[in-house]
Amino acid sequence: MRIAMIGTGYVGLVSGACFADFGHDVTCVDKDERKIAALHRGEIPIYEPGLDELVANNVKAKRLDFTTDLKQPVADADAVFIAVGTPSRRGDGHADLSYVYAAAKEIAQSLQGFTVVVTKSTVPVGTGDEVERIIREANPKADVVVASNPEFLREGAAIRDFKFPDRIVVGTSDERGRKVMGDIYRPLSLNQAPLMFTARRTAEMIKYAANAFLATKITFINEIADLSEKAGANVQEVARGIGLDNRIGTKFLHAGPGFGGSCFPKDTKALIKIAQDYDVSLRIVESVLAVNENRKRAMARKVSQALGGNLRGKTVAVLGLTFKPNTDDMREAPSIPLITALQDMGAKVRVYDPVGTEQAKLVLADVTWCQGPYDCVEGADAVVIVTEWEQFRALDLERMRDLMACPVMVDLRNIYRPDEMKRHGFAYSCVGRVSTHQPVNVQVPTSGTESLTRAS
Ligand SMILES: NC(=O)c1ccc[n+]([C@@H]2O[C@H](COP(=O)([O-])OP(=O)(O)OC[C@H]3O[C@@H](n4cnc5c(N)ncnc54)[C@H](O)[C@@H]3O)[C@@H](O)[C@H]2O)c1
């Protein structure tokens, strides 16, 4: 199959390289000349484990190439995938579809022969109808089927997720469209990945519903963490205790600083807006968004409390900036509002991230950029772990303690154990577990329940 991938970002480049690896001929197109020039030099413009090798192998095998001009690849293609960004629209939170519609208009001019145009970008219900209208208006003779094929990969594990997906969702009711999509994904159905065909609007809804559900799971456990912390329970064990129930599942139950990233915040916002347009209120999703928003500054207050309630003149070291490990993506990273809030409270902030520094420099100001975790904690009054990169999981705690002005750790990812931290002389705060510097902080509910006693 010949595939044109329009948009060569986190989704387009990974999908394009994986399709090429299945044996298809893929051209990845992007408007960004610097991105395409870098790819021609063999440089990968994003950080994604394993992607450099995958791209290099398929370029060498002549199954994958790159261009800024979509005309020829679209003319030659059996399927054209739209994988451009759909960020939150400034001002109202709707999905900004201008990139999708501009791509559709441009694609329309170059279509030749029967082609399936597939929206891989995350788009509101009904966007496929508008993409089809745009194409038919710009090129009434085009022999085209417009399908939806939302992407579920996670940055940091994108190649594995693409090659071994839980399911592939294809939204089209057209038989020819289904045949082309079936042929494209056949190598995956050989891996037993269920290929689910459905209507286009249903496929579009599945993507938003999936992201909203996962964001809800994270937010739920974060609220249970807050309660566990006050009530003297351990949220990690609560998460395991409920997650082992197959109806619930263990994933996305890690308490932390709140969700961020390129998808959950914008997609939950967009889903709420879609619902409003249909005069439906999604109160659960609205609460999830509001609770998550409040959590961001609450994490800064947690740091302040760990330092006695006053950050003025204090130095805080922040380990991890990207929204999760194994990516350089800083979009909506929890580190951004946390650091701003720490600065608002008067702290000086030192930061370190293993791969995200270049992207972080575009969004963070007035911080000290450090070369490694030990450089970062030097002279600090507290260290905050924000992103659980592997290299932060086994830090030399004695070395850290000796370098710091004050051995205080706020572990927003619960990667250390309170007893271990106490043994190493740290005052340790975490999320949803009793912290070492506040062992008597267990509260009794105001209504007073007989069976609950204040811990000593
Ligand atoms: N990043 C993720 O983990 C992820 C996962 C699933 C779904 N998605 C969805 O996939 C879509 C793409 O996300 P992303 O993270 O890859 O975005 P991205 O910003 O990394 O990449 C988008 C690319 O599209 C290019 N582009 C924009 N208009 C173009 C045009 N007309 N022609 C050619 N190139 C054009 C941009 O230059 C950019 O390189 C979004 O809708 C997103 O919600 C993302």
324 lines ligand 1 (CB under 6 A): no
323 lines ligand 1 (CB under 6 A): no
Q: Catalytic positions, please?
A: 263
pLDDT tens column, 266-284: 999 999 999 999 999 999 9
Asked whether the beta carbons of 356 and 328 are under 8 A apart, the reply is yes
How remote is the CA of residue 166 from the centroid of ligand 1, in Å?
22
197 lines ligand 1 (CB under 6 A): no
Q: In what order do the strands lie in the sheet with 368-369?
A: 368-369, 348-352, 315-319, 382-385, 408-411, 427-429
Number of H helices, E strands in the chain: 17, 14
Residue 456 has pLDDT above 70, yes or no: no
How remote is the CA of residue 121 from the centroid of ligand 1, in Å?
7
Pairing of strands 2-6, 79-82: parallel
Q: Atom of ligand 1 at shortest distance to CA of 154?
A: 3
Phi-psi region of 313 (alpha: psi -120 to 50; beta: other; left: phi over 0): left
Q: Atom of ligand 1 at shortest distance to CA of 120?
A: 10
Q: Is the pTM of this model over 0.75?
A: yes
Task: Tell me which amino acid residue 187 is.
Answer: P
Residue whose CB lies within 8 A of the most ligand 1 atoms, among 14, 30, 106, 148, for a mutation test: 30
| Mean pLDDT, residues 80-85 | 98
Residue whose CB lies within 8 A of the most ligand 1 atoms, among 82, 89, 101, 262, for a mutation test: 262
How remote is the CA of residue 219 from the centroid of ligand 1, in Å?
26
35 lines ligand 1 (CB under 6 A): yes
Residue that has been written with the tokens 């194409």 in this structure: 135
85 lines ligand 1 (CB under 6 A): yes
Q: Compute, in degrees rounded to 10, the torsion defined by CA atoms 120, 121, 122, 126.
A: -80
- pLDDT of amino acid 84: 98
pLDDT tens column, 377-403: 999 999 999 999 999 999 999 999 999
Q: Which amino acid residue places its CA nearest to atom 17 of ligand 1?
A: 85
Average pLDDT, the chain: 94
48 lines ligand 1 (CB under 6 A): no
pLDDT tens column, 402-423: 999 999 999 999 999 999 999 9
6 lines ligand 1 (CB under 6 A): yes
Residue whose CB lies within 8 A of the most ligand 1 atoms, among 11, 155, 166, for a mutation test: 11
Comparing CA positions, the residue from 153, 182, 120, 149 lying closest to residue 49 is 153
- pLDDT confidence band for 445 (50 / 70 / 90): low
